[in-house]
DNA sequence: GTCGGGATTGACAGCGCTGTCAAGACAGCG
DNA sequence: CGCTGTCTTGACAGCGCTGTCAATCCCGAC
């Protein structure tokens, strides 16, 4: 491998003891400063901070974990097939962790294997790692067995975008309904009256929510508006099939909302194959602002979830909690979507 | 938050001491078994393993780190804009880490900010975290300043797919040349004689390598073969522009190789806009087998790098090293690409 | 039967930090 | 001026494990 282990140039890292000595105070006082504990005089604070800075002191996480009851590690439960989605969420959570010198552990829980397996898997995860908290990402946020296990173990957790039984725990939410209404209105205001809807995967609560919001909003504009629905199962393939169905109907849709971007890309391809031009002949809006949104032409009008911020918030909640925060009350941070106007919607004269 | 901290049901985790007692041996003997040290009799081994199993003992990483000189943490240096690429590499590395109860720390190094900033950034990373090794992913594998810093600190590292100065360190390689030759032959054998090439980003060594291999291979078939080149900078947009250039030339290419999938998707879109059908009028091959490869129609013929395996191998090398392995010699694990035949290439009569 | 040497096992001192508890400092009050 | 209560500071044990070193065991060779 590539190195020389004999740290010729590397002087040993400063310890808390070193800082204490340099500042002329006790070990424990340095500890107090590091942990921002109360009852520290300004004078002592200054001395210690100067010494810390001077020695470039960085506390040793392993020692802190061993001696105290924090462990500087959070877990994230993952089971989302979309790398882009996962990546953004995790990036946000990771950033929050880094800021507090925490580490993030990733755990894939395979929903496909059924709730029994999942419960077993999480028990194992909890037993074998010392965590200060757990972040549940969709679709794991809605598996009751998981929540049960977590509660039994007494591990704090935060659910991201839970679909059901929302009040049960701390959570980070985002209002899909609201975003979908914007989509519906956007189409409506541009003169569209015949709609297509590509549904997602029924096992994800988000799927039903998005569908219902879209349909309801449109009906509120006109009770007997035309909406053709088809299943797209959140994939390109699914969107392709759904698109062909929607666009080759007798009175085809002029505006299609796909429950995610992959599906929307499928619809665009279907349009192309049917000789329809986007947005001239069909308008399309996606959901997620994933990577593909910019890998199609025209680039896709879509809705972006602030996933990084959501992940960040979730981790932040857990970290504050570990520092000795808010017991009893279930925090809830809410975020808004951002509508991203690009090139796939046309205004009908 | 969602829990009860008073672990009513949670009995304390077993410690090594507990195991020693249960097995009727000394603490140190259990430690030997856990660390697979030599000089342990079969009888003792059995007793200890039984006790470990019985008590569901899991060693405490923090304590091990504190007491020993391993820290059970590896770092990955990231600076690749493609989430899919990063994700796959990291997933593999992470899996290897999990198997050995290691943790992976991610660090973004912003190449765009220039080598000076990077060196500073890595110094800071190395100073503030206790790592057993570092994995460099492209394009960080080719920043000499980074390697210098790592070596100065004496931290073992492995470079993934380094482009230059390969022998300098341990590494995990994959032969782009070989894969690109396959691509060239694949086109050639199917009767194509007029080629288009979408180049990548010059700052990535891979870009030049892929380009050269493609051109050389084709020339080896026929010295004055027609190859039109255009810059695609590894993005969809770039591929789109490059595609329009290549396909609207006087004697347009019938087969286009794009240095990555995003670029290939751009070429396909360009073809569509020019009224050309893929693969009937133009054949396209990409590189990476990224998410978009299946989000276009027809789905993209491409080349897949075994990124998970590569990440896994890199982490594995570092972990073995930390266990006290191969000093002096620079390991090198080599991987092969896999050619993925899908629907974007046509055989010319 | 005895000795040398390697194989096997264990005792023990910390690693760097936090939690506990007690001591010292200091202000206010009678 | 002494006493009490609060604020600040420090001493100390020990978290769970590994590295060191010494003790013990077992074997073949003499």
Q: Does residue B196 surpass a pLDDT of 70?
A: yes
| pLDDT at residue A204, as a whole number | 84
State the complex-level ipTM.
0.89
Mean of per-residue pLDDT scores for chain B: 92
**Whole-angstrom distance, CA of residue A134 vs CA of residue B300:** 38
| pLDDT at residue A1, as a whole number | 54
Q: Which two structure tokens, joined as six digits, stand for A12?
A: 């040993």
**Whole-angstrom distance, CA of residue B337 vs CA of residue B157:** 23
DSSP-assigned beta bridge partners for residue B285: B257, B301
What are the phi and psi torsion angles at B172 (to 5°)? Answer: -125, 125
**Whole-angstrom distance, CA of residue B176 vs CA of residue B70:** 35
What are the chain B neighbours of A60 within 8 Å (beta carbons)?
A: 66, 130
State the average pLDDT over residues B252-260: 96
Q: Does residue B119 surpass a pLDDT of 90?
A: no
**pLDDT band at residue B327 under the 50/70/90 scheme:** low
A66 nearest nt, CA–C1' = D15
CA nearest to nucleotide D20 C1': residue: B28
Nearest to B227, CA basis, from B260, B281, B190, B188: B188
**Whole-angstrom distance, CA of residue B171 vs CA of residue B159:** 5
What is the DSSP code (8-state) at residue A190? T
C-beta separation of B258 from B233 below 8 A: no
Q: Give the domains, in start order, of chain B with CATH numbers.
A: 16-59 (1.10.260.40), 73-175+307-337 (3.40.50.2300), 176-304 (3.40.50.2300)
Q: Contact A84/B86, CB-based, under 8 Å?
A: no
Q: Report chain D positions within 7 A of protein CB atoms.
A: 7-20
Query: What number of residues does chain B have?
Result: 349
Nearest to B253, CA basis, from B262, B244, B240: B244
**Whole-angstrom distance, CA of residue A331 vs CA of residue A54:** 39
Element (H, E) at B288: none
Q: Contact B1/A296, CB-based, under 8 Å?
A: no
Nearest to A199, CA basis, from A218, A180, A185: A180
User: What do you get for the CA distance between the two ends of chain A, in Å?
Assistant: 67
pLDDT (tens digit, 9 = 90+) per residue, B1-60? 554 444 444 677 999 999 999 999 999 999 999 999 988 999 999 999 999 999 999 999
A41 nearest nt, CA–C1' = D8
Minimal Cα–Cα distance from B180 to chain A, Å? Answer: 23
- Torsion sign (Cα): A269, A270, A274, A280: negative
C-beta separation of A122 from A109 below 8 A: yes
| pLDDT at residue B8, as a whole number | 42
> Can the peptide bond before residue A333 be classed as cis, meaning omega within 30 degrees of 0?
no
**pLDDT band at residue B303 under the 50/70/90 scheme:** very high
Q: Count of CB atoms within 10 A of residue A209's CB?
A: 18
Judge if the beta carbon of A26 is closer than 7 A to nucleic acid strand C.
no
Q: Count of CB atoms within 10 A of residue B306's CB?
A: 17
pLDDT (tens digit, 9 = 90+) per residue, B120-141? 899 999 999 999 999 999 989 9
**Whole-angstrom distance, CA of residue B62 vs CA of residue B65:** 5
Give distance CA A39 / C1' D3 (Å): 24
What are the chain A neighbours of B90 within 8 Å (beta carbons)?
A: none
At residue B299, the 3 state secondary structure works out as: coil
| pLDDT at residue A327, as a whole number | 58
C-beta separation of B334 from B317 below 8 A: no
Q: Contact B103/A4, CB-based, under 8 Å?
A: no
Q: Do β-strands B302-304 and B338-340 pair in parallel, antiparallel, or remain unpaired? A: antiparallel
Nearest by CB to A295, from B1, B157, B292: name it.
B292
**pLDDT band at residue B83 under the 50/70/90 scheme:** confident
**Whole-angstrom distance, CA of residue B345 vs CA of residue B188:** 11
Q: Contact B66/A61, CB-based, under 8 Å?
A: no
pLDDT (tens digit, 9 = 90+) per residue, A124-142? 999 999 999 999 999 899 9
DSSP-assigned beta bridge partners for residue B77: B107, B136
Give distance CA B39 / C1' D28 (Å): 19
**How do the residues of chain B divide into helix, strand and coil, expressed in percent and rounded to 5?**
45, 15, 35
C-beta separation of B146 from B140 below 8 A: yes
CA A59 to chain centre: 30
| pLDDT at residue B278, as a whole number | 96
**Whole-angstrom distance, CA of residue A86 vs CA of residue B289:** 19
Residues of chain A with pLDDT below 70 are 1-10, 111, 325-329
pLDDT (tens digit, 9 = 90+) per residue, B205-229? 889 999 999 999 999 999 999 999 9
Ranges of beta strands (E only) in B59-184 are 73-78, 103-108, 133-136, 157-160, 170-174
| pLDDT at residue B275, as a whole number | 93
C-beta separation of B306 from B338 below 8 A: yes
**What letters, b where the CB count within 10 A reaches 16 and e where it falls short, cover A285-322?**
bbbbbbbbbbbbbebbbbbbbbbbbbbbbbbbbbbebb
Give distance CA B34 / C1' C13 (Å): 21
Query: What number of residues does chain A have?
Result: 349
Q: Contact B295/A297, CB-based, under 8 Å?
A: no
| pLDDT at residue A267, as a whole number | 98
Ranges of beta strands (E only) in chain A are 73-78, 103-108, 133-136, 157-160, 170-174, 194-199, 226-231, 255-258, 283-285, 302-304, 332-335, 338-340
| pLDDT at residue B324, as a whole number | 73
**Whole-angstrom distance, CA of residue B230 vs CA of residue A33:** 59
Q: Which two structure tokens, joined as six digits, stand for A25?
A: 């105070």
CA B186 to chain centre: 26
Plot region of A191 (φ>0 → left; ψ -120 to 50 → alpha; else → beta): left
C-beta separation of B146 from B158 below 8 A: no
Q: Which two structure tokens, joined as six digits, stand for A3?
A: 């190195």
Mean of per-residue pLDDT scores for chain A: 92
Nearest by CB to A295, from B128, B265, B272: name it.
B265
**Whole-angstrom distance, CA of residue A75 vs CA of residue A138:** 14
**Whole-angstrom distance, CA of residue B35 vs CA of residue A113:** 33
Q: Count of CB atoms within 10 A of residue B5's CB?
A: 12
**Whole-angstrom distance, CA of residue B242 vs CA of residue B270:** 8
Percentage with pLDDT > 70 across chain A: 95
């Amino acid at each position: 491998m590539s190195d020389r282990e004999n740290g010729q140039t590397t002087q040993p890292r400063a310890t808390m003891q070193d800082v204490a000595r340099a500042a002329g105070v006790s070990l424990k006082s340095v500890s107090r400063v590091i942990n921002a504990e109360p009852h520290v005089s300004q004078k002592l604070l200054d001395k210690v901070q100067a010494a810390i800075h001077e020695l470039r002191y960085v506390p040793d996480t392993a020692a802190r974990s061993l001696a105290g009851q924090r462990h500087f590690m959070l877990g994230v439960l993952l089971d989302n097939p979309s790398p882009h989605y996962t990546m953004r969420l995790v990036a946000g959570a990771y950033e929050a962790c880094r800021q507090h010198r925490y580490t993030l552990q990733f755990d894939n829980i395979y929903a496909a294997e059924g709730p029994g397996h999942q419960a077993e898997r999480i028990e194992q995860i909890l037993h074998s790692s010392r965590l200060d908290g757990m972040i549940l990402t969709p679709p794991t946020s809605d598996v009751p067995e998981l929540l049960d296990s977590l509660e039994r173990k007494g591990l704090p957790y935060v659910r991201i975008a839970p679909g059901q039984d929302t009040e049960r725990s701390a959570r980070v939410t985002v209002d899909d309904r609201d975003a979908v209404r914007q989509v519906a209105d956007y189409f409506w205001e541009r003169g569209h009256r015949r709609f297509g809807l590509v549904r997602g995967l029924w096992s994800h609560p988000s799927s039903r929510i998005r569908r219902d919001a879209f349909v309801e909003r449109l009906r509120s504009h006109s009770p007997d508006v035309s909406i053709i629905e088809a299943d797209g199962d959140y994939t390109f393939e699914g969107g392709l099939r759904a698109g062909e169905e929607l666009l080759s109907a007798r009175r085809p849709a002029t505006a299609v909302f796909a429950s995610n971007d992959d599906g929307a890309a499928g619809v665009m391809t279907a349009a192309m194959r049917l000789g329809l031009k986007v947005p001239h002949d069909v308008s399309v809006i996606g959901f997620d602002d994933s990577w593909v949104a910019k890998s199609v032409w025209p680039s896709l009008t879509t809705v972006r979830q602030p996933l990084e911020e959501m992940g960040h918030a979730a981790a932040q909640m857990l970290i504050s909690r570990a520092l000795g925060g808010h017991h009893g009350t279930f925090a809830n941070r809410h975020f808004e979507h951002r509508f991203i106007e690009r090139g796939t919607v046309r205004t009908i004269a």
